[in-house]
Amino acid sequence: MTSALNLPLARHAIDRDYLSRTNENLFAELWANPATRILPMFQGKVLLESHGGADVAQLKLLSVGDVSSIEIRVYLGKTLDSESREPASTPVVLAVVSETEAQRIEANESAWHSLRRTGAGLSARDAGLYAQGLAIANWHESHPFCPKCGAETQIIDAGWVRRCEADDKEVYPRTDPAIIAAVIDDEDRILLGSQGIWEDNRWSILAGFVEPGESLTAAVQREMFEEAGIRVEDVEYLGSQAWPFPYSLMVGFMARAHGNQNLNPDGLEIEKLRWFSREELATSAGEMLLPGKLSIARALIEHWYGGELVSASDAKGRS
């Protein structure tokens, strides 16, 4: 097996600079700073540009004057790496824009990219900016009102807090933890499942959200039993990464299913289950729709396999 997981959205090269968030003059200072760069986002999509004529794309960051109207702005922090036109310590602000502003910035709709399918090749700087920016944008979109009284909330602290004046309550960004596990049997085969709403040849490992009052290990054991009808042991943490769809944290594990246990898909989320040996997966992968390269699911499968797999989903650019 490989020594470490390849987790595209676990990489980062950004100092979130959280102490600056409470500076009431922060955005005025950032707008007066010619080094400040803006990450425009429209409906979760961003702009890309080539890096020095190379095939590798990076996030297209704009100057303050390039964006005239912003619906939500969030201070993301300062870059740690020098990249293209932006040196290290460049301050970056997320700008969620309207359709009108998005068209003014870039009228070609195909130039706005959803990186769920194409973001695996981003640099550490851009992966961190993308994951952070999309997660906080999604949180703002779904939390415009106070959960206690229903009044509209106001954005404070550089975009990192929403405040309800009616009941003097502050609402903070949330992250939903979810476990995902590569389950291995006594024959060293991996368990893959398929949901009923998926194509017939789409397969992945099993996952689920952590419930209130539950440990991560307990969540792995519960989800594997609920979805597959098997009991797992030897639960081992392997890694985690942000999954900003909308604002989750995927925590990856390997677990063992000992003995001759019958597979019993729950019929709600999982319709089909199957054990795959390395040889079977290598033979079938080219015709299967495996999880996309941006996902921790793909990383866990390849960690067990011991190398890179080529899936039919890679050619289609699908997650």
Domains of the chain from N-terminus onward: 8-142 (no CATH), 143-174 (no CATH), 176-316 (3.90.79.10)
Going by C-beta distance under 8 Å and a sequence separation of 6 or more, which residues neighbour residue 277? 187, 188, 189
Give the pLDDT confidence score for residue 3 in this predicted structure.
Answer: 45
CA–CA gap between residue 64 and residue 35 (Å, rounded): 9
pLDDT of 53: 55
pLDDT at 317 (0 to 100):
54
As a whole number of angstroms, the distance between CA 263 and CA 230 comes to 7
| pLDDT number for residue 2 | 38
Task: Check residue 178 and give its pLDDT.
Answer: 98
Question: According to the model, what pLDDT value does residue 313 have?
Answer: 86
Run of H or E residues at 57? strand 57-59
At residue 314, the pLDDT reads 86
Tokens of 220: 């792995």
- Distance (Å, whole) CA 23 – CA 8: 32
Tens-digit pLDDT profile for residues 278-291: 999 999 999 999 99
The alpha-helical segments, DSSP class H, found in the chain are: 26-32, 99-105, 115-118, 124-142, 216-228, 278-284, 296-305, 312-316
Angle among Cα 175, 209, 8 to the nearest 5 degrees reads 60
**Reported pTM:** 0.93
Q: What is the pLDDT of residue 131?
A: 97
Q: Kindly give the parts of the chain with pLDDT less than 70.
A: 1-3, 51-55, 315-319
φ, ψ of residue 84 to 5 degrees: the values are 50, -120
